[in-house]
Structure 1
Amino acid sequence: MASKSGPRRFELVRHRDVSGVSGTGVVAEGVEWSDGTVALRWGGHYPTTTVWQDGIGALLSVHGHNGATTIHWLDD
């Protein structure tokens, strides 16, 4: 659940590149807004920004690759 005190920043860290596209390490930067919505900025050769209205759980269900990619929170 999102922080009630405001937005929280995070990095999307890929430990194993299942698709062979994004590589490993920090592959995206994100913000979880106080209502649970997530904005994610992808790096790499084709940078883009995506919005996940259903939050972190939805993002990880698509991009988590069964634990190969995790969230590293930058803010408490």
Structure 2
Amino acid sequence: MTGLPNRGLAFDRLQDAMARAKRQETRIALMMLDLDHFKTVNDNLGHNAGDLLLKEVSRRLTGCIRKGILLHVWAAMSLR
């Protein structure tokens, strides 16, 4: 729905990045974001509103990161 890879692919890519960093003796950074009260949006405004919110957050975050940075949906349970 968001056009972003899911939790399974995110975990695979994270493991790959960690292994590469270990081999190259470098570091990686991981940042996780949570949408507070997302369930409230779904419950009070409906799943269509929740879907629109996720798509807009995805669009905005994608526009803020440089090429080569991985952006994934981690909390698949929030998606229907």
The structure with the largest strand share of the pair is 1
Larger-gyration structure (1/2): 2
TM-score, normalised via structure 1 length: 0.34
Structure with more contact order per residue of length (Cα contacts < 8 Å, sep ≥ 6) = 2
TM-score, normalised via structure 2 length: 0.33
